[in-house]
Chain A
């Protein structure tokens, strides 16, 4: 058995959603045709179930690189090879508001965990086909999503440098969160596929404003629908290749 995610490997699907939040893990599972709780250990809440007959798993990762890396490594040991992070984020751009979704095309590596795998010059980018599946799924579901770069770092409350925020804005960086740098690099090293979609819970001026909470919850539901549709298509394409 793995050291931290304590469950029967047979419970883990190839296709895994990895939100940071425990609550969101359950929200994702609630979109499956049916699901059951698999395990809860060290803060990793795991649910498995089916969508159109396809076995899928959700595991929360907690916040930040260290617990994300441990989660995806152990899920991978148990057979997972396709990961979609369904997360929340802040933003650097004025055109993004609470509830907007961002499909990630690459991540500024502000976190430290992935540096233990590959040096920072290695690009933290998602799998093209998984990203494409999310972009296409959003379009087909009629749900709006931004497509672009983000940052991921280890410190939520550390002092923020205004000039750096300005630089990221100029460079077109859309989102700010804490896990995708690790997810993409660990997936590259292990030969897995990974992608990310994040719902903004703030604006370029405000962090998690209360007035934006309803819009965020709505956006989170949309992100879950996009991610599940994309995962379904990946599984169907995998099955067609066999």
Chain B
């Protein structure tokens, strides 16, 4: 058995959603056709079920690189090979509002965990087929999504070691700010897995998680879950067609 995610490997699907929040893991599972609670250890809440007959798993990773790396490594040991992070984020851009969905095309590697795998000059980029499945699913569902760069770091409350870098990132078009996609993408590349990520924004470029944006954020969260499940379904179907 793995060291931290304590469950029967047979309960883990190849197709796994990895939100940070345990609450969101359950919300994702509730969108499956049917699901069961698998395990709860070290903060990793695992649910597995099916969508159109395709087995899928949702596992919370907690916040930040270290827990994400441990989470996906152990899921990978148990047979997972395709990951979609369904996260929340802040934003650097004035045209992004609470509830907006952002699909990541690349991530600024401000977190340190992934540096233990591949040097920081290695691009934290999603698998192109997963990225394209997410973009196409959003379009098919008629949900507007931003498509662009993301920032992921290890620090929520600190000012950052170089505050000028935020301004450079904003000017370079970085849309979202969160804490896990850098690790997810780099570890996945290192292990030969596929990964993608999308986030629902819970703030604006001026405000962090304002109360007035809560309802819009919840709607955005619902939207990103629907996009991710539709994308994962299409990835699984394409895998099946190839096999």
Contact = CB atoms under 8 A, between A and B. Distances in A.
B72 to A, nearest CB: 15
Nearest to A147: B128
Given A108-B121, A118-B172, A189-B171, A135 B192 contact: no
A234 interface: no
Contacts of B189: 149, 171-172
B233 interface: no
Interface in B11-25: none
B118 A171 contact: yes
Interface string A181-222: 000000011010000000000000000000000000000000
Interface residues of A, number: 29
B121 A188 contact: no
Nearest to A122: B108
Interface string B114-154: 00001011111100110110010000000000011100000
B107 to A, nearest CB: 6
A148 B128 contact: yes
A123 B182 CA distance: 10
Contact of A167 (B106, B118, B124): B118
Interface string A156-179: 000000000001001110000000
A110 interface: yes
A132 interface: yes
Interface in B169-201: 169, 171-173, 189-190, 192
A139 B180 CA distance: 33
A144 B118 CA distance: 29
Interface residues of B, number: 30
Nearest to A148: B128
A233 to B, nearest CB: 15
A199 to B, nearest CB: 19
Contacts of B149: 123, 125, 188
Interface string B82-111: 000000000000000000000001111110
Nearest to A189: B172
Contacts of B192: 170, 172
Nearest to A181: B121
Nearest to A188: B172
Interface in A79-132: 105-110, 118-125, 128-129, 131-132
Contact of B128 (A105, A120, A121): A105
B243 interface: no
A168 B64 CA distance: 25
A147 B125 CA distance: 12
A167 B106 CA distance: 21
A44 B179 CA distance: 42
Contacts of B242: none
18 contacts: A106-B123, A108-B123, A118-B168, A120-B121, A123-B106, A123-B107, A123-B123, A128-B105, A128-B135, A131-B128, A135-B132, A147-B128, A149-B125, A171-B189, A172-B192, A189-B172, A191-B171, A191-B173
Given A123-B109, A123-B125, 16 more contacts: A107-B123, A108-B123, A109-B121, A118-B172, A120-B121, A122-B108, A123-B108, A123-B123, A124-B123, A128-B105, A128-B135, A128-B148, A129-B147, A131-B128, A147-B129, A170-B190
